[in-house]
Amino acid sequence: MSTGADLRYVEAKPGKWYYEYQCYPYGANDEYDVYGPFSSEEAAEDHCDANHANAGGSQTIHHDGTDNKLSGKPQSPRRQGSF
């Protein structure tokens, strides 16, 4: 079962990955918790999987020559494994 939260993996700058996980109540809240930076999208996914309930889906926003703005101030991720 999934939470229905919005989840985005964002490459804010080249090689700087973050994830944005929608705050509760999911689907009715415009605020996100932001975690990172990570060295890769896979490292961000691994951290999210280890620390949050299944969102049920996600989208990936790659760096496209313009720095992507994050939806909030990043929280330093709790270090697990070698992220």
pLDDT for residue 83 is more than 70:
no
User: What residues have CB less than 8 Å from 11, skipping those under 6 apart?
Assistant: 17, 41, 61, 62, 63, 68
Region at 81 (left for phi over 0; alpha for psi -120 to 50; beta for the rest): left
**Gyration radius of the chain over CA positions:** 12
Residue type (1 letter), 68? N
Per-residue pLDDT reduced to its tens digit, 12-55: 999 999 999 999 998 889 999 999 999 999 999 999 999 999 99
Of 81 and 5, the one with more pLDDT: 5
How do strand 16-22 and strand 59-61 relate by DSSP bridges? unpaired
Sign of CA dihedral 58, 63, 66, 67: positive
